[in-house]
Each structure stands twice: as structure tokens, then as C-alpha cells.
Amino acid sequence: MEQIAANKLSTRDHISSVVTRQRERLMQLLYAPMQRITALTSQIVHTSEQPLGDRSSLDALLKEVFSSVPYAKYLYIMNRDGVQFSSSMSCEGLIAEHCGRDRSDRPYMREALSVANYLDRSRETCYQQWPYLGDHTQAVDFLLCEAYISQNALRPSMTATYFLRDPKGTHIGFLGADFALRDLPPIEGLYENRRRSWHFSPATQRDQVRQASRLDREINTVISVLEELITFRGVYHVKIHFSSSQTVLWQMNDPYQYRILGVTDLLDPDSCLAYPNCSYPEQATIRPKDIRFVLERMEALRRSDNPIYLRSFSLNIFNGLVGTSFLSDDSYYIPYDDFLKSDCFG
């Protein structure tokens, strides 16, 4: 199978440029097979009286072509309103109960439906925002959405959509392909933080009213992104500053430097693409399945009604310690299994 691992990164690279290159490689890898599948789908539609053809025929097609879409977790067909018309094809086989699922409000479909509505209004055959492949060819009818957190697995994911058209060129639906970011091919090397000043503004004892930061408001995304980075991307130590919404990360492939993620990067699951895939270390004290539990316990502590609230949080998977500091300036370093107990702070 074709690999898309990046060349060794330049020390001048930063997170946005690495993510952009990874997305470009994925588009190059996915465009051709999805284009072939939509052409086969168009043939089924041509021989049917139904707008999207016969469901059983589409399911048979998805089963036949699934392996041609590298790294795909699910492959399925939707009507032009974003409602799933076929079963979902996966490595385990067809999932019939997915038929009828309304995906119109998912992030990837909001983008695709917005493009479709624009085309309907303008009656144009070319949309100016179609992405470009590496050879400067415009990938017409193809969209690779920004990464998002999946509804069921709560993990950073990505979806590619390809517009389905009947033999006359009329838009009739979408082909969708879902990917878990952790299953995508690895990069080599790590991006470099730009050398610049960072300013943190912690609360003081005079400020007894906790102000919800952007990080607080989107804490579920934070938990999923950090779980991905720690469990599958080699991050072994994190420190979160809640008031300033900044996070500091240490990564096993480059342990002598730390990297600072601003809130925009931390809340963008695409940022995971800038970190190389890395097996969870056997020497770690914390079990990988407990990472999410620790982060959810952190969230509960941050949201507690105690006026002496949590200001910062750290986690190291090797020594198994959780660090916390509070408005009172009290700090604690606690074994993670004790931290998971609801009464660990009295």
C-alpha cells in the first residue's frame, strides 16, 4: 500500500505548515480511489429508477471497493440532504443499522452541504474552493474536511466526501469515507515552536470569581485531543494553564524541548497530524485506558463549586503523578490512582 510519510521535517517548520502538508498528502492519496468509486456508483444509478439506485447494489459495491480506499474506517453513501442511503462498510463488514442516519449536522457534512447549496444557487459547474492536488490539479467534487471529534468513539477523526452525480451531471448525493487520525500514516520528525514570547496571566487570590476560559468552554475537545496525543502520539508530559488556555507538551521523540500549544491549536484536532505516531511506552506507570479517566477527573475538579478552584494541571505518564495548583497557591503532586478517587482532596 502506498505510504505518505513525510520527509524529515525542517527545524523551521511549525505546526500549521506540517498539518497543511499532511492534508495535501492525504488528498493526493484519496482523490483517485474515491473518484473511481463514484464513477461506478453513477453506473448503478443509470440503470435504476431510484435517484441513488438500489441500496443492495450500492452495499455490494461498497463491499467490493472498500479496500481500495487506504486507511478508511467507514465507507458509505448519502443522499443530497446528508442522510445515509447505504449501509456503512468497515473492516468488519457491512453495518446495516447505519442506513438512514442523518449526518447533515456533522462538521464534514455542514461544509459539503454548504458547497452544494452554493452550486445550486449559482448554477455553476465549478466551485472556486475545490482543493488542489500536489500537481496543481483541482480536485473537483472532492472535499477533505477539517478534523473533528467523533460522536461515538470521541477520538479525532476526519472525513472525505465526494459529490455523486447522475449521468447528466446532476448532484444526487455524496460518497463519505471516515478516518481515525491514529490510523493514518506517520510523519517523521517534529515541528518546531516559533521562537517568540508567551505571556501567561494567572488568577490571583484577590480574584475569587472564576472566569470560564475558552479552554473551559470546549473542554470535551481538549480531553479528546490530549488523549490522542498522549496515547498515540508520544506525548508523555502535559501541563495545562486554565486561565490563559495554554498547554505545554513534552514528546518522547524530542524529550529535551517542550512545545506550547495555544488554545486555537489545542482545540483543533488537525493539530494531531503534526505529531508522529508513537506506540504507548511499556515503561509508563499510567495505563493507556486510564488517560481519559484522569483527564475527565481533571475536568470535574475544574468545574467544582469550591471557590479555591483549580488553576493548572499536569500529568506525567512515566512517574504516574498528577500535579495540581489552586487559587490558594496550594500545589499537590498525587499518584494518578489516588487522583482518580473522588475524595483525594478531602
Please give the residue that has the higher pLDDT: either 167 or 96: 96
Mean pLDDT confidence for 171-178 = 94
> What is the reported pLDDT for 177?
97
In this model, does residue 181 exceed pLDDT 60?
yes
Mean pLDDT confidence for 38-44 = 88
> What is the reported pLDDT for 203?
46
> What is the reported pLDDT for 132?
80
In this model, does residue 167 exceed pLDDT 50?
yes
In this model, does residue 50 exceed pLDDT 80?
no
> What is the reported pLDDT for 194?
65
> What is the reported pLDDT for 320?
96
Beta-strand runs (E) in the chain: 74-79, 88-90, 93-95, 142-144, 148-149, 156-165, 171-180, 235-241, 246-251, 254-261, 310-316, 321-326, 331-335
Mean pLDDT confidence for 282-286 = 97
Measured in degrees and rounded to the nearest 5, phi and psi for residue 134 equal -60, -30
Mean pLDDT confidence for 250-267 = 91
Q: Which helix H or strand E contains 346, and what residues bound it?
A: none
> What is the reported pLDDT for 13?
55
User: Partners of 37 in the beta sheet?
Assistant: none
Distance CA 288, CA 138 (A): 41
Q: Percentage of residues in the chain with pLDDT exceeding 90?
A: 57
Report the range of poorest mean pLDDT among 10-24, 30-44, 53-67, 80-94.
10-24
Please give the residue that has the higher pLDDT: either 72 or 262: 72
In this model, does residue 4 exceed pLDDT 90?
no
Report the range of poorest mean pLDDT among 34-38, 65-69, 190-194.
190-194
* Range ranked top by mean pLDDT from 169-173, 241-245, 293-297, 309-313: 293-297
The Cα-based distances of 216 to 199, 213, 241, 242, 261 in angstroms read 19, 5, 11, 7, 15
pLDDT tens by residue, 91-125: 999 999 999 999 999 999 998 998 888 776 665 55
The residues, any chain, with a CB within 8 Å of residue 259's CB and separated by 6 or more, are 190, 191, 193, 248, 249, 250, 251
Does residue 234 come out as left (phi exceeding 0), alpha (psi in the -120 to 50 range) or beta?
A: left
Look over the chain and give the mean of its residue pLDDT values, rounded to a whole number. 85
* Contact between residue 272 and residue 224 where contact means Cβ atoms under 8 Å apart: no
- Give 303's pLDDT tier (boundaries 50, 70, 90): confident
The whole-model pTM stands at 0.85
